[in-house]
Amino acid sequence: MFGKSKNKAWKQLESIYKHFAGTQMKDMFAADPKRAEKYSEQLESMLIDYSKNLINSEVMAALFNLARERGLKEKIADMFAGKKINTTENRAVLHTALRNRADTPIYVDGRDVMPQIDAALDKIRDFSEAVRLGRFTGYTGKKLTNIVNIGIGGSDLGPFMACEALRHYWAKDINCYFISNIDGTGCAEVLNKIDPETTLFIIASKTFTTIETLTNARTCRKWLVDALGEHAVAKHFIALSTNKEEVEKFGINSDNMFAFWDFVGGRYSIWSSIGMIIAIAIGYKNFERMLDGAYAMDKHFTETEFEHNIPVILALIGVWYNNFYGIHRYCVIPYDQYLRYFPAYLQQMDMESNGKSISLDNKYVDYSTGPVLFGGAGTDVQHSFFQLLHQGTEIVPTDLIVPAISHNEIGAHHQILLANVLAQGEALMHGKTEDETIAELEAAGKSSTEINRLKKYKSFSGNRPTNTIVLRKIDPYSLGMLIAMYEHKVFVQGVIWNINSFDQFGVELGKKMALNILPELQGMNRNTQHDCSTSALISYIKKIRK
């Protein structure tokens, strides 16, 4: 039984918070010149500095006690061993098996799944290299250089983010496109840019029934058939799916169907055949380096004591803010243009996983679970929502991510970028007092009247937490490490909150209701009952569309 009223460690943290609230980070830094060293961890070339947080040794010790009380070590072992920790769907959770570079056996229902995973990866390697080298060509014999991924959710966000993050590694003659939204504009804009003879479409749908994906796929199929004929479909479409019957009915050769498994959830599927477009774009060896990086983080996560375990530390600090400070949001800012879609990817990973209100005990929770996540690329966002981060009434814990070395070292660009990320962390922590503001305005020659008018506007409360994550460079290995780090952070928080991080029933309700509304919009008579607002909106839209 879990609940804040029944949990010893939780009560201990509530007690600590009562006397810790109001503590100033800058005072803790002044009192401890080794604070940054004490609250930093390094894994290979990845450094995580979490010293600019509202924590001390007492807080962290209590958080580690909470993790132990919740049985985190055992829960980690259960996930990696293939136990069915996705209890609502009775499934194992084994995206980690896809990057098991040790190739040790992992069992589900008494069967080692590694041989089928290895076979699937071999098939991805062979096909991706055949496309890159021109051995698998289009219907007219031309090389396939336009690769279009048609998917939604985890079948789009993961590969899209990774392809953009690793754009530096793309083959020079390959272009990647993504269609996800049911809005026809998504199809139209991509189809207007590509040539049927040189285009390969990847349909990413496990069941081959997802309405958005299949609607987009059929539109693309018609476009191709109109240009090249029905027989071209088998040479220009492949499927990432398990539904052989529907795949073949679509016109795709089942040899070009790439499977994945029920133990791999959509938002964790980037390591599976869903990563096909990544392997084509950057080459299979680089795709393997992504797997290697994720495996390095997996080993760290499973083998390192909590006190030095990066995902565990980040997760527990998030719990501290969410459940004791009452801060139900956080921000992720990559200071790298290649990573600009990383926050959107994390939104699904975090909010779809932990946006839950029912515990594993089948009860409504009486505490906050998953926070709201937002973000964007620095320095762009410094000129948008950073005003709120610095001077808003809401505190927003923030992760700052930056590579020490850029792929594009042009002039002083990267040094300026690095200076900005370091300055933002310092400014959010330190702030600027009214006395400091007054001194600054006096030095600028402002009158006393002007100073009195401006001193509050130009002051900053500070004491706003950040984690700074420094990578050597954004490459396949470091990206794999970074993704796996956040995967495990989200999992740890789900364990602490006693929720199932691996189902997503909240995705389904609105989509099912849309199927009832669609016939009405198409002019069919249905007796579906709606609220008066929805009925009026249906009538108005039908009137406009006439």
Percentage above 70 pLDDT, the chain:
99
Between CA 231 and CA 393 the distance in angstroms is 61
Contact 327, 321 (CB under 8 A): yes
- Per-residue pLDDT tens over the stretch 72-103: 999 999 999 999 999 999 999 999 999 999 98
Average pLDDT value for the chain: 96
Annotated active-site positions, please? 352, 383, 511
- At 27, is the pLDDT very low, low, confident or very high (cuts 50, 70, 90)? very high
d(CA 149, CA 159): 8
Q: How far apart are CA 530 and CA 537, in angstroms?
A: 10
Tens of pLDDT, residues 248-263: 999 999 999 998 899 9
CATH-assigned architecture of domain 8-69+304-430+464-500:
3-Layer(aba) Sandwich (3.40)
Type of residue found at 338: Y
The percentage of residues in the chain with a pLDDT greater than 90, rounded to a whole number, is 93
What pLDDT score was predicted for residue 510? 87
pLDDT at 1: 42
For residue 341, the model assigns a pLDDT of 98
Beta bridge partners, 492, equal: none
pLDDT band at 529 (very low <50, low <70, confident <90, very high): confident
- Name the band, by pLDDT with cuts 50, 70 and 90, for residue 6: low
| pLDDT over 80 (residue 526) | no
pLDDT confidence of 2, banded at 50, 70, 90? low
Q: Is 429 in contact with 462 (CB distance < 8 Å)?
A: yes
Average pLDDT value for residue range 398-424 = 98
pLDDT at site 511: 86
Q: Is 257 helix (H, G, I), strand (E, B) or coil?
A: strand
Indicate the pTM of the whole model.
0.96
CATH classification code of 107-287: 3.40.50.10490
Task: Quote the pLDDT of residue 4.
Answer: 57
Region for residue 271 given its phi and psi (left: phi exceeds 0; alpha: psi -120 to 50; beta: otherwise): alpha
Over 90: is that where the pLDDT of 195 sits?
Answer: yes
